[in-house]
Every structure is written in C-alpha cells, then in structure tokens.
C-alpha cells in the first residue's frame, strides 16, 4: 500500500454505503443525483452492491449517459483516491501522511507568517469550475475575508470567460444558455461553432437529432469531428479566423436581404456601427482569409434565416482565442441581425464546459467578482455583500489578477508566495504549462485540496483529501442556468473532509469567528442566497428544500415563491433600456502565425473518453482502454512530409516547448492543421505548447491556435523551458 495514495481493500469499499434521498442509509437504496463531469449535469441514480450508477430520465440527458458518466462511480473506490492528508517536512522530501491538525496548523501558521511579513496579497487562491456553488461561494469569501487577499481566480477563466464577457456586453447578463436545452429539440436549424458535443457531452446530441434529420445542422470546426459528420453543412475555417468568418456571414445576411429589420429596430441598438465593421468583410474576402467558400457562407446564413426555429451556439473552439470575446460578439451580432435572441423558438447560447462552469463564475471565485455576479469594484455591491458577511466594505480587497496572470506572478517580488488550489490542476491545464510548473515550484508554500493526487498535488507542500460528488450535498448550475441539487449517496473515507470543512478550519485558525464560515452545505447555500439577492444572478429564492422537492429552478429566482426564469430575455434584455447591443468588432487574427520554422497551426481540444486535465478519468481502466495516451491528428500528407507514419511517435514542437504524441493520420484534416487533446500529463501535455497570450477583455489564453511543427521522436526529448 502506497504511503501517498492508499488503496481501498474490500472492507474499505464496504464502508461506502448508499443512502436514499432522505439520508436514511438503507443498504441498496438509490439516491437521485447528477453526474460529476460536464455542465450538462446528466441525471443519474447511485446504487450499491455493487456501487454503480444508472441514468435517470431528465430533460437534459433523457435517460442517457456517456462513457464517463457510466464509469463515474469508479473514482469513488479507486486505488488512486486520496484518503489522508499529506505533507513534506521539507521541499526535497517526499509527501508523507500527517494528521489533519498537523496539516491545518502548518498551513495557517505559514500563511500568518507570510501575511505579516509581506502583506495579504502574498497569499493566492486558485479555484475550479467543478466546485459546487457552496464551495465557490465560501472560497471567495475565505480569500477576501479570512485572508484579505485580492489574489483569487479560477480555472473557469480558461473556459467560459470570453463567452461571459461577450454575453454581458450584448445582453447585459451572462447566462450561457438562456433557454432550456430541451428547446433545441424542435429547432429547424442550429449553427454550432467550435463545439463537438458528440464527444464532449454525447447526450446533448439527442436534442439535435430532429434538426440534423431535417438538414438544418450547420457545424463550424476546422476538424471533421463526429458532430460535423452529422451536419448538412460543415464549414472548416483555418483556426484563428472565426471572427473573419462571422463578419463575412453578417455581410452575407445584409447582401441577401435576410436581416430582421423590425427586430433590430425594436429590440437592439448599435447595428449601424457593427455593420460598418462587417462591410469590409465581404464573403469572397473571407474565403481567402478563412478558407471557407463564399457560397457556403451564404448557404449557412440562409438556412438560419429561413428556419421557423433557429439557434446559434458557440463553445470553446471559437472562444479560446486572443480575440475570443470579440469573436463571440461577432456571432451574437449575426444572431441579433437574424432576430434570434429573446425570441420564442429561437436564440443564442454558449455551451458551458465544466460541471459548474456557470455557477462557478457567479459567486466570487473570479478576480473581479462578488456573489450574485456582482462587480467587486461596485460600491453598492461591496456594501451589500459586506453586510451579509458582517465585515466593513472598506476592508474587502479590490480586483486581483486573472488566472494565468496570477500563476505567472507566483513567487515573484510582487506576486503571491503561497497558493491554495481547490479543484484544479494547472500543471496540466494551464497554457505554457512548464513555465507554470516552474512558478509553482518557486513558492514558499503550495497547498492542494483534491480527490486524487493530481500532477499539481504531486508538487505540493501539503495535500488535503476532499470529498467528491457522491459523498456530499451541494448545488450545481447547469449550462442552461438551472440550479440542481447533487445529493450525498455514499460515505466518504474516514479521513476525508469536505472543502467547506477545510475552509472553516483554516479560517478559525486565522482568527475568524467560527460561525462566519459554516460547514453545512444547506447553511452555506442560504447565505449565498442572501449575498446574491438583488444581483444579476439572484439565487435568493432558491433553497435546498425546493430543490429536494423537485422544482425546476432557473436563475434568477428573487423570492421563495418565484417559479424561476428559464427564458430571461423574452420580454427584455438585461441592459437598463431592455435592448441588446450590437458590438462593433474587427478581425485581427491569431497572436502567433505559422512561418518557415513552425509551418503548421496547432489546435487543442477534448476526446470522448477523458475529461479536462484527466486527473480522475485517467484512473479508470475502461476509459484508458479507449484513449489512454496523447495522440496528434494530422493529414497523411503532412505526416509523410515530417517522415511520420500512422502509429509512429512524434514530437510536436512550438516556440514554448515540445511534447510527444502518437500519430493518427486523418484524411479529413486540413493539411495545415494538427490537433492535440489536452488531457494527458508529463511529456504528453498539449499545454506545454500553447500560447499564454491573453484576450484583452476576458483575459482568456489563446489555447486554440499556435504555430507548431512535427518531428520524428528522438530518444530523450527536451520537455520545454526546463526539465521536470
């Protein structure tokens, strides 16, 4: 048995007993809950003997699960599960088991010392989009009240920040999908941009079946993905040219007389300035820049405009760029010109990726945000939240650094000297990953709270084992803005604590009154509701009791009798005048262009059998049998020019480093593009290569495009920017 990750024997497994919805603990009873992975939050029932999951009929997944959902119970009893706190007596020593008191006392003592010597911003906090609403809320409160630091952000900055910024600019409110997923089932036309739900959230595809069968599915993606295979029209632009394509399609809408002028005049503002920008991007010019035929641009717009029910949906492929916020704004402009957002049977939405990507960005994990999607620099918001917290508004810190900027500043003279990481694995998930690993290594103290010993946890000074999805109560907010209750179904291992309990224990050791940091999820959620009251994301009318009773509650829910708001824009948008805004944007192109040294365009993404950084899914044998190592998808001619054949091991190199991957020759790939999944560790990390240049509005890194080249593998490749 390893000292680091003690495996569960049969007796330990038996301690995981399933409880029913009332928490009675009757053996064999089932617990209705939701999947631990993506933001579709598929409904499932956890049962025992053996521990397993089965899908439930629910509006989002309609009785289906993907491979990850079906195998999700495996991590609960995995030999890789963390079951005791770990710590290093010194930086060059291995991690060893310690007691909770030893671990928490050490963390609090070192944090007190750093804050006393270097100030409160010497401590940073890095959260995750998979944390429950309760955890995200209490983490933000802990950072700003117990630590007094401005240095908090989360990995959702790598996921939804560009879509959130664009949605807020256009609609006055960021609710990624402002309508229920089930509305898509009656659509005649759907435009998917940078989305591959056939692999990222397979049950979602069922909602597109009618559209696909009627010839109304349009997919924009540089790869011929399984989703694109279902489409009547597949547009394959060069990565980094999506904004030009969106401008060209708006131009086509004007040229072809497809703009809904009555809608534009009655429900929007700013069309003229947006059109002036798009006027320079006639479809034939876009064809030369993006590689998409002008005729296909016209055809796609006509499909949307002539449909009785049409939707435009974006995802990471079009958002994770240095101009990602402007790119999403350009797609919103197209949807507004066609009269879709806020119209019954039509709309615009962004597909949230992480399990609580929507709720995680609403309640205080972001560097510039307070609960309820309030702005941290808004005096009224500060006063309201400070009143709920029982502190002086003047004592709350101001906005801090965004996620990559926070990681880049670690260990520097003006940056944090300690970092607390909850529910994230930046050693794998952050751009320019080897550099981020160097910054983490420079810290005086790195603390990681996680379910498994992730690649980031392996480098930590203290590791804290935490409960996971089926071992705790907590709420999640799905991609459609519906708040869901995930229920405790099994007991956690004896030495595992919840994140809420850890934050409470540290806060008390740092001098906070115990009652300020509750540990019961229902109590934390009630406080979250009070803190969010009156804000854009108002949860004040939601309670665990209403969710247990099965109510379908889409925020905002401003009072306990309110039925929720599944379609918030039908009557008015979130701006004071009720109108949506066209935003004038122009194409700039990627920050890094191919050249003679790096002639290919590299883009990254996901595969069906793995999730995010893979820290959990890589522990599951069935998933690894499907996809257990990194591969690079490349056109056969491109591989041949690099002296590579299908199945060979290649080096993929960018200006930031090099990684290894197995060659997959895919004839449908563009010859100038290669694709890497980002789920794998060590020398197989795609993010050793990605460009950390940031969108000026959202601070989203440009994950989706950088210049690269392929080489034959050498015996000992240099990993990048230093050996680890």
Average pLDDT by stretches of 10, the chain with 724 residues? 32 32 50 95 91 95 95 93 96 95 98 98 97 98 98 95 96 96 97 96 96 98 96 97 98 98 98 98 98 98 98 96 97 98 97 91 95 96 98 98 98 96 97 97 98 97 97 97 96 96 98 98 98 98 97 97 98 98 96 96 96 93 94 97 96 97 97 97 97 97 97 62 41
CA distance 402 to 287: 35
Sequence ranges of the domains in the chain: 10-77, 86-158+365-554, 161-350, 600-712
Q: What is the predicted pLDDT for the residue at 353? A: 85
CB neighbourhood size of 593 (10 A) = 12
Q: What is the residue-wise DSSP string for 460-505?
A: -SEEEEB--GGGS-EEEE-TTSEEEEEPP-SPPPTT-B-HHHHHHH
Query: Which of these CATH numbers, 3.20.20.70, 3.20.20.80, 2.20.25.90, 3.40.50.10490, describes 10-77?
Result: 2.20.25.90
Beta-bridge partners for 631: 662
Of residues 465, 428, 469, the one with CA closest to residue 448: 465
Q: What is the predicted pLDDT for the residue at 50? A: 85
- The third-level CATH classification (topology) of the domain covering 86-158+365-554 is Rossmann fold (3.40.50)
CA distance 351 to 190: 13
Using the structure block, give the residue that is written with the tokens 């064999």. 28
Q: What is the predicted pLDDT for the residue at 721? A: 52
Question: Quick one: residue 589, left, alpha or beta (phi over 0 = left, psi -120 to 50 = alpha)?
Answer: left
In the chain, how long is the greatest CA-to-CA distance?
Answer: 71
CA distance 29 to 49: 10
Q: CATH for 600-712?
A: 2.40.40.20
Q: Are 319 and 328 in contact (CB under 8 A)?
A: yes
Stretch (H or E) spanning 311: strand 310-314
Stretch (H or E) spanning 710: strand 706-712
CA distance 136 to 77: 25
6-20 core/surface letters (b: 16 or more CB in 10 A; e: else)? bebeeeeeeebbbbe
Q: Are 366 and 154 in contact (CB under 8 A)?
A: yes
Question: Quick one: residue 609, left, alpha or beta (phi over 0 = left, psi -120 to 50 = alpha)?
Answer: alpha
Of residues 686, 130, 136, the one with CA closest to residue 452: 130
Mode of pairing for the β-strands spanning 649-654 and 631-634 = unpaired
Q: Give the CATH superfamily of 161-350.
A: Dimethylsulfoxide Reductase, domain 2 (3.40.228.10)
| DSSP 8-state class, residue 158 | G
- 100: exposed, middle or buried (C-beta count within 10 Å: 0-12, 13-18, 19+)? middle
Provide the token pair at 90.
């010194």
Q: What is the predicted pLDDT for the residue at 28? A: 52
**Cis ω for the linkage preceding 461 (within 30 of 0):** no
Q: What is the predicted pLDDT for the residue at 48? A: 79
Stretch (H or E) spanning 602: strand 600-605
Q: What is the predicted pLDDT for the residue at 27? A: 47
Beta-bridge partners for 478: none
- 650: exposed, middle or buried (C-beta count within 10 Å: 0-12, 13-18, 19+)? buried
| DSSP 8-state class, residue 177 | S
CB neighbourhood size of 508 (10 A) = 17
Q: What long-range pairs does 11-15 form, CB within 8 A, spacing at least 24?
A: 12/77, 12/493, 13/51, 13/77, 15/491, 15/493, 15/494
Give SS3 for 452. Answer: strand
Q: What is the predicted pLDDT for the residue at 20? A: 33
CA distance 60 to 708: 38
Of residues 692, 636, 633, 643, the one with CA closest to residue 667: 636
């Amino acid at each position: 048995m390893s000292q680091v990750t003690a495996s569960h024997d049969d007796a330990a497994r038996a301690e995981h007993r399933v409880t029913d919805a009332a928490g009675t603990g009757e053996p064999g009873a089932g617990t209705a809950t939701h999947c631990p992975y993506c933001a579709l939050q598929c409904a499932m029932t956890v049962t025992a003997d053996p521990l397993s999951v089965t899908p439930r009929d629910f509006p989002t997944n309609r009785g289906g699960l993907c491979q990850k959902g079906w195998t999700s119970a495996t991590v609960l009893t995995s030999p890789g599960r963390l079951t005791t706190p770990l710590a290093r007596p010194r930086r060059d020593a291995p991690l060893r088991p310690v007691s909770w008191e030893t671990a928490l006392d050490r963390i609090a003592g070192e944090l007190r010392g750093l804050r006393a010597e270097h100030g409160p911003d010497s401590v940073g906090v890095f959260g995750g989009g998979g944390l429950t609403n309760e955890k995200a809320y209490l983490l933000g409160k802990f950072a700003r009240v117990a630590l007094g630091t401005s240095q908090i952000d989360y990995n959702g900055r790598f996921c939804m920040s560009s879509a959130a910024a664009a949605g807020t600019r256009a609609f006055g409110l960021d609710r990624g999908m402002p309508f229920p997923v089930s509305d898509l089932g009656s659509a005649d036309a759907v435009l998917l941009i940078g989305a591959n739900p056939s692999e990222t959230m397979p049950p979602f595809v069922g909602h597109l079946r009618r559209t696909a069968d009627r010839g109304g599915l349009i997919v924009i993606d540089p790869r011929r993905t399984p989703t694109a295979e279902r489409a009547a029209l597949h547009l394959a632009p060069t990565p980094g040219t999506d904004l030009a394509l969106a401008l060209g399609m708006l131009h086509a809408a004007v040229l072809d007389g497809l703009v809904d002028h009555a809608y534009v005049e009655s429900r929007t503002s700013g069309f003229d300035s947006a059109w002036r920008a798009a006027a320079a991007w006639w479809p034939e010019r876009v064809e030369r820049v993006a590689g998409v035929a002008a005729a296909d641009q016209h055809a796609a717009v006509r499909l949307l405009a002539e449909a009785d029910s049409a939707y435009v949906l974006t995802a990471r492929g079009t958002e994770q760029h240095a101009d990602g916020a402007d790119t999403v704004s350009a797609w919103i402009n197209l949807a507004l010109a066609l009269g879709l957002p806020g119209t019954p049977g039509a709309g615009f939405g962004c597909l949230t990726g992480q399990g609580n990507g929507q709720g995680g960005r609403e309640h205080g994990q972001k560097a510039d945000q307070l609960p309820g999607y309030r702005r941290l620099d808004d005096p009224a918001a500060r006063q309201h939240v400070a009143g709920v917290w029982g502190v002086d508004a003047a004592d709350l810190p101001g906005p801090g650094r965004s996620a990559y900027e926070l990681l880049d500043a670690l260990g520097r003279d003006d940056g944090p000297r300690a970092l607390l990481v909850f529910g994230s694995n930046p050693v794998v998930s952050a751009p320019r990953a080897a550099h981020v690993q160097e910054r983490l290594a420079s810290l005086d103290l790195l603390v990681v709270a996680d379910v498994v010993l992730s690649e980031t946890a392996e480098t930590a000074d203290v590791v804290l084992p935490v409960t996971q999805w089926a071992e705790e109560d907590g709420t999640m907010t799905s991609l459609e803005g519906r708040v869901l209750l995930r229920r405790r179904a099994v007991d956690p291992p004896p030495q595992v604590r919840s994140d809420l309990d850890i934050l409470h224990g540290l806060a008390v050791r740092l001098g906070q009154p115990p009652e300020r940091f509750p540990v019961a999820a229902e109590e934390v959620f009630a406080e979250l509701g009070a803190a969010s009251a009156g804000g854009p994301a108002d949860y004040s009318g939601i309670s665990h009791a209403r969710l247990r009773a099965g109510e379908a509650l889409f925020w905002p829910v401003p009072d306990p009798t309110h039925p929720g708001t599944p379609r918030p824009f039908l009557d008015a948008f979130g701006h004071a005048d009720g109108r949506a805004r066209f935003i004038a944007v122009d194409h700039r192109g990627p920050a890094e262009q191919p050249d003679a040294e790096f002639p290919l365009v590299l883009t990254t993404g996901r595969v069906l059998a793995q999730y995010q950084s893979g820290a959990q899914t890589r522990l599951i044998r069935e998933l690894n049998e499907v996809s257990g190592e990194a591969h690079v998808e490349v056109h056969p001619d491109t591989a041949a020019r690099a002296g590579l054949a299908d199945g060979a091991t290649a080096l993929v190199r960018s200006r930031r480093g090099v990684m290894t991957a197995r060659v997959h020759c895919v004839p449908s790939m563009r010859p100038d593009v290669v694709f890497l999944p980002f789920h794998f560790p060590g020398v197989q990390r795609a993010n050793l290569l990605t460009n950390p240049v940031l969108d000026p509005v959202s601070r989203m890194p440009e994950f989706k495009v950088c210049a690269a080249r392929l080489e034959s593998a050498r015996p000992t490749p240099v990993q990048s920017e230093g050996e680890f």
